[in-house]
Amino acid sequence: MKCKKCGERASIKMPQHNMALCGDHFLAWVPEYTQRTIEKYRMFTREEKILVAVSGGKDSLALWDVLHRLGYQADGIYINLGIIDPQNDLAYSAKSKAFCSQFADQNGLQLHIVDIKEKYGETIAEINQRSAHGRQKPCAICGLVKRHIMNQIAHDKGYDVLATGHNLDDEAAALFGNTLNWTVEMLRHQSPLLPAVSGFVRKAKPLCRFYERETAAYALMRGISYVYEECPYAAGARSIQYKKLLNQLEKRSPGTKMNFYVHFLKAQKELFGEEQTAIPREEHCPVCGQPTLSGQACAFCRMTGAVKA
Ligand code: AMP
Ligand code: FES
Ligand code: ZN
Ligand code: ZN
């Protein structure tokens, strides 16, 4: 297979685009295609301040790298959740943090680090242990903590938009789950761009049209060091099963994942109208000031013990 641009031997095939590219042209195409996604969904401009949520994994570090190459003003945020893999004693969060710091240092970029043990006195596992969900995996709590802190830092430090590294495989797996359960509200709000609404900052997913294998290839070819291991709590997660299923379909009919997601975005407009916003919440938490439904302390403040019962 030959590179579509120069005719040299291709390094990567992308049947969903009817295209194969050599290494150099792939490394040039990734920022171009990201830029087209940013424009298509009117995510942000070069005049705006972007906060990139980096996990130390390939997607979010690739995103930071691409935005930096494209000339955007992009700082990073890493949330240290204090996760340790009990199976092999791997300090997962510490390792992830080191990759984020290394990337920031190498590129002269600013990285904000929030350490939840330092700030709130407990790691994710400890919060989980204490809470009613004690015997379950901490993923739901972890998601809530991450969303809360990302929004708070972006808001308090005056960023215009929060960008995350979600790729098309992540989005297609989430869509698969939302469709299996027909969670209409989730389907309404699953979008590459969520405009700011009542205390929630604007949220963008500039890599949402890349397959996971493409973000991995990009990170490798750019020499970005990242954490290969999945979060130890991710094993057995539904989203991973959905990704496997979608990849089986993709193998039989290349382009299936892309069609599933991109056609959904078109159908979403017809079903729900043009603007996808976060679920508006008019009340504010008296402890942290973030939006809530009830006007009482928000779920995050109750869970982290900022509010004593
Ligand atoms: P996940 O929820 O783990 O699938 O990650 C989705 C996106 O959330 C990543 O691509 C990152 O942009 C962001 N993210 C995940 N974990 C962290 C973290 N510990 N700190 C900052 N951002 C994160
Ligand atoms: Fe939060 Fe795995 S990253 S539980
Ligand atoms: Zn080429
Ligand atoms: Zn609160």
Point out the ligand nearest to the CA of residue 79: 1
Look up the pTM and report it. Answer: 0.95
Probe residue for ligand 2, chosen from 80, 81, 123 as the CB with the greatest number of ligand atoms within 8 Å: 81
> 47 C-alpha to center of ligand 2: Å?
33
Backbone φ, ψ for residue 289 (5° rounding):
85, 0
CA angle 26–63–123, rounded 5-degree value: 140
Q: Which residue has the higher pLDDT, 135 or 109?
A: 109
Q: Is 231 in the pocket of ligand 2 (CB under 6 A)?
A: yes
pLDDT tens digits along 176-202: 999 999 999 999 999 999 999 988 999
Domain ranges for the chain:
31-278
Ligand 2 pocket check for 116: Cβ under 6 Å: no
Ligand nearest, relative to CA of residue 301: 4
User: Long-range contacts of range 261-266, CB-CB < 8 Å, 24 or more positions apart?
Assistant: 261/168, 261/171, 261/172, 261/175, 261/208, 261/209, 262/209, 264/175, 264/190, 265/191, 265/192
Digit-coded pLDDT (tens) for 61-94: 999 999 999 999 999 999 999 999 878 778 999 9
> Whose CA is closest to atom 1 on ligand 2?
142
* Superfamily grouping for domain 31-278: HUPs (3.40.50.620)
